[in-house]
Amino acid sequence: NPVFLLSATDVSHFPSEAKTYGAPEVAFLGRSNVGKSSLINSLLGSKQAHTSSTPGRTRAINFFALHEGAGAKMKVKPTLIFADLPGYGYAKISKSISAEWPQFIEPYIADRETLALCVCLVDTNIPPQANDHQLITYLKQTQRPFLVVGTKADRLSNNVLAKNMAALKREHEIDEILPVSAKTDSGTKALWQRLMAVAE
Ligand code: GDP
């Protein structure tokens, strides 16, 4: 029972403790079209994340509160907060993520106190992308805990998926990628386990 909290277009809009009760937050990051809203919808079992694809909200961070069991609107501490960040890589001309991202993205990642995990989505169907690499490198620098998730795994045979995942790991210099499919729901249980591990 996810509750949409708000859509932030400025640092000053990020939900305060009065709204989140200081619950741990999971941020979802990825290139436009990587399958971020499909994955969030499949995790939430709802169409809530589609608010992020409505015009005007695409350049915003959309915050959702997740409650376990209890009524969604109850004034209790949420289990987790989801933060759906704007997709990058849309403007072909921009060479760097920071040039393209709204100015509130880096402050969000660097300073958001309750941010417990960054879920960084990469498409398993395409070669390693420079802007994904840039984000992963940035996350390493910030020392924020992050998890790389490979999307649209259903489109590939096991063989090709394994090959592509190996290339992504090598190029992005990471130890692990969790393959998922929003279409078949494969991998989403494993992802949930990782998300719940940061919940209190
Ligand atoms: P976003 O821009 O990152 O939010 O990406 P979307 O969730 O809107 O997905 C972009 C496109 O990829 C859409 O056409 C989706 O139907 C497709 N897509 C997303 N996830 C999957 C998946 O797990 N499997 C397959 N086959 N297609 C997917």
Instruction: Find out whether the beta carbon of 184 lies less than 6 Å from any atom of ligand 1.
Output: no
Nearest CA to ligand 1 atom 18: 35
Give the C-alpha separation, 172 to 44, whole Å. Answer: 28
Distance from Cα 35 to the centre of ligand 1, integer Å: 4
How far is the C-alpha of 180 from the C-alpha of 165, rounded, in Å?
12
Closest residue by Cα to atom 22, ligand 1, is: 152
What DSSP string describes 13-82?
GS--HHHHTT--EEEEEEBTTSSHHHHHHHHHTSSGGGGGGSTTTTTSEEEEEE-SSS-TTSSS--SEEE
Per-residue pLDDT of the chain (200 residues; tens, 9 = 90+): 788 899 999 999 999 999 999 999 999 999 999 999 999 999 988 655 554 445 444 689 999 999 886 555 556 889 999 999 999 886 655 566 667 777 888 899 999 999 999 999 999 999 999 999 999 999 999 999 999 999 999 999 999 999 999 999 999 999 999 999 999 999 999 999 999 999 96
pLDDT for 96 equals: 66
- DSSP-assigned letter for residue 98: H
Residue owning the nearest CA to atom 15 of ligand 1: 35
Q: For position 104, what pLDDT does the model report? A: 87
Amino acid letter, residue 133: H
Query: Residue 75: CB partners within 8 Å, gap ≥ 6?
Result: none
User: Which stretch of DSSP H or E encloses residue 130?
Assistant: helix 130-142
Residue 197 pLDDT: 95
The answer to whether 91 and 100 have CB atoms below 8 angstroms apart is yes
pLDDT at 57: 47
What atom of ligand 1 comes closest to residue 41's alpha carbon?
Answer: 7
- β partners of residue 62: 7, 84
Among 29, 31, 38, the mutation site with the greatest number of ligand 1 atoms within 8 A of its Cβ is 38
| Tokens 């959702």 -> residue | 64
User: 73 in ligand 1 pocket by Cβ < 6 Å?
Assistant: no
Domains and CATH numbers, the chain: 3-196 (3.40.50.300)
Q: How high is the pLDDT of residue 1?
A: 74
Hey, how many other C-beta atoms are within 10 angstroms of the C-beta on 177? 20
Contact 62, 84 (CB under 8 A): yes
Ligand 1 atom 2: residue of nearest CA? 33
What pLDDT is recorded for position 52? 47
Cα–Cα nearest to 7, from 71, 77, 55: 55
For the stretch 135-165, pLDDT in tens is 999 999 999 999 999 999 999 999 999 999 9
57 lines ligand 1 (CB under 6 A): no
Atom of ligand 1 nearest to the CA of 184: 23
